[in-house]
Amino acid sequence: MKWFDERYDFSDLRGFAKKKFVPAHKHDIWYYTGGAALFLFKMQFVTGMVLAFYYVPYFEQAHKSIIEIVTKLNMGWFFRSLHHWGAQFAIGILFIHLFGTLLLKSYRKPREMLWFSGFILLGFSIFFGLSGYFLLWDERAFAAVRVATGGLSALPVIGETIKAFLRGGIDVTGETLIRFYAFHVCVLPMAFLGLVVLHLFLVQHHGISVPLSQEGKKLKQVPFFPNVVYKDLMFWLVLLGIVVTFATLLPPEIGIKADPLAPPPENVKPEWYFLFLFQTLKLFPGDLYGLNGEVVAVLLVTAAILFFFLIPFFDRKSQQGLRSPVFTAIGVAYLAYFVIMTLVGYFS
Amino acid sequence: MKLNYSLVTRRTFLNTLFGGWIASFFLGSLYAVWRGAFPTLGKEPDFVVLPKPADYLDIPTNSTKAFAWGGKLGYIFKRSDNTVVALKGVCSHMECNIVYKPADRKFYCPCHKGWFDEYGKNIEGPPPKPLEFFEYRVEDNKLIVFKKGIKVELPKA
């Protein structure tokens, strides 16, 4: 330790750890969702690295190489399963983190940048998910990517360009697989890491947000180290236990190898975090009072997501530190739509 | 007229010079990266040539046979009234492959539950447009399927 101390002055860091306090109040459980997501993403990075040693990102071998990972490799089944379940839980916790932030209005001034960076991180995570399960190159993944990229092309002006860029051509082919592999293991992790650093830096800079209802009260300040860190670690350990249990007992299935000329399996469904979009698309008839229902659906979804993204700008009241019941209602409406449509999609 | 002082300070000059240099460097790089990352686009075929026409045209009534229309799915389809047509087997909604349901005499898209009738008309669910039909002819014991309005001339063997 002395050796290091002579080469770098750690007293700053020690001082920082000593001085950092986190307020305690009845909503402080939400503070742990961000850390839990961070933990799961660390796990995704490690399990992903192991899988990347063996996966072959070429359309003729991709499907087979995953079967070999889970059947022939030491612990291969475990890492693949852990990577799968880690992703499910990570995205699940991110949604909880998102809606918690939304309903507690932690996006209000001066934390708008935290909201934006977090929102983009969720977008990245969903793209991580889509590109990840496409790597399986099975029937379901193939249909999902066709729909996801095809749906984007309904956007006016930029739609076709985005579609071609993502697909690497006019169709979903082996080119798309290579592209999605590059996104999944290189582009997204790099961008993600950078944005996480920004997100965490901003949390440090502003300190954690205190909900409006607790503002002005005399709150107990708990030292970040060790109290909060230990609680974080406890939560992470429990989470690890849950994810490993799921990974061991419920290894994810691998569908039939994708065939561009075969129809998708009956009642094909995307991953659960796309179900609310999937249900929405099913709701819109092809002809909507003379308009193209597909375009209307895609535009409405885009507008709803954009509104959600820009909510810190629209919610004037909470910007001024006032209660903002209208935006609580909007938040609850978004949450209800997401939950109900996901359930309808799941059980239909 | 001679000015006693320069209108542009040395600092402004240098900031503009280097700022401009950095901005053009990044814009140029970004453009180059975009050009490199954007794929060369192929094109959907105007026609395909299939061997053994009988395999496609002599299918049972009320059934389909798949063929490759470039990277996409195509169907030769014999309707219940025995007319034979060629069509693209791709849903007009989100580009999933469709499948023919002989019992209902309809095409069905499993992705978002879209339905098309025998004539390719979108009758139920989200598809916004009818299916795309092709034309075909038999020449030199080959089945040529082509887009409407395209003239196909095979090289003489």
Q: How big is the CA angle at A327 (ends A325 and A328), to the nearest 5 degrees?
A: 60
The interface predicted TM-score of the complex, written ipTM, equals: 0.85
What SS3 class is residue A254? coil
Tell me how far apart the alpha carbons of residues B157 and B145 are, in angstroms, rounded to a whole number.
19
pLDDT (tens place) for every residue of chain B, 157 residues total: 677 777 888 899 999 999 999 999 999 999 999 999 999 888 889 999 999 988 999 999 999 999 999 889 999 999 999 999 999 999 998 889 999 999 999 999 998 999 999 999 999 889 989 999 999 999 888 999 999 888 887 776 5
| Residue B152, in any domain of the structure | no
Q: Within a domain: residue B90?
A: yes
The bridge status of strand B122-124 relative to strand B133-139 is: unpaired
Cα separation, B18 vs B37, in Å, equals: 28
Structural domain count of chain B: 2
For residue A169, the distance in angstroms to the closest alpha carbon of chain B comes to 5
* Domain CATH for B61: 2.102.10.10
B111 and B56 belong to one structural domain: yes
DSSP code for A264: P
Amino acid at site B110: P
Q: Degrees (nearest 5) of the Cα angle A294, B40, B68?
A: 65
Cα of B121 to nearest chain A Cα, Å? 11
Q: Do the Cβ atoms of A284 and B126 come within 8 Å?
A: yes
Tens-place pLDDT, residues A209-241: 988 888 888 889 999 888 999 999 999 999 999
- The reply to whether B57 falls in a domain is yes
Phi-psi region at A272: left, alpha or beta (left = phi > 0; alpha = psi -120 to 50)? alpha
What integer pLDDT is reported at residue B34 of this predicted model? 94
pLDDT at B157 (0 to 100): 59
> Quick one: B59 and B11 in the same domain?
no
Interface test with A, best of B34, B64, B95, B106 (most A CBs within 10 A): B95
Q: Would an 8 Å CB–CB cutoff place B117 in contact with chain A?
A: no
For residues B25 and B52, state if they share a domain: no
- Of A124, A103, A125, A106, the C-alpha closest to A114 is A106
Report the alpha-carbon distance of residue B51 to residue A215 in Å, rounded.
77
Is residue B111 less than 8 Å (CB to CB) from chain A? yes
A49 has a pLDDT exceeding 80? yes
Q: Do B86 and B23 fall into the same domain?
A: no
Decide if B108 is inside a domain: yes
**Which amino acid, one-letter code, is at A328?**
T
Same domain, B34 and B56: no
Chain A hits for B113, Cβ within 8 Å: 282
> Mutate which of B112, B121, B123 to test chain A, going by most A C-beta atoms within 10 A?
B112
Q: Are residues B26 and B52 in the same domain?
A: no
Instruction: Give the integer Cα–Cα distance in Å for A45 and A48.
Output: 5
The whole-angstrom distance between B12's CA and the closest CA on chain A is 32
Based on the domain organization, do B141 and B112 belong to the same domain?
yes
Q: How far is B64 from chain A (nearest CA, A)?
A: 13
pLDDT range class, residue A334, cuts 50, 70, 90: very high
Residue B95 and residue B141 in one domain: yes
Assess whether B140 and B104 both reside in one domain. yes
pLDDT at position A14? 87
Shared-domain flag, residues B37 and B53: no
Beta strands in A110-238 (DSSP E): 220-223
Q: Are B67 and B124 part of one and the same domain?
A: yes
pLDDT at B70: 86
Interface of A with B (CB under 8 A): 143, 146-147, 150-151, 161, 164-165, 167-171, 173, 175, 260-268, 278, 281-282, 284-287, 292-295, 297
pLDDT tens, position by position, B43-58:
889 999 999 988 999 9
Q: Identify the closest residue of chain B to A277 by CA–CA distance.
A: B112
pLDDT value for A18: 87
Tens of pLDDT along A79-137?
999 999 999 999 999 999 999 999 999 999 899 999 999 999 999 999 999 999 999 99
Domain-embedded: residue B154: no
* Interchain CB distance below 8 Å, A261 and B97: yes
Q: Do B126 and A286 touch (CB under 8 A)?
A: yes
Q: Determine the distance in angstroms separating the CA of B15 from the nearest CA of chain A, rounded to an integer.
A: 28
CATH 1.10.3720.10 fits A18-258, yes or no: no
Domain span at residue B19? 1-41
B26 and B57 in a single domain? The answer is no
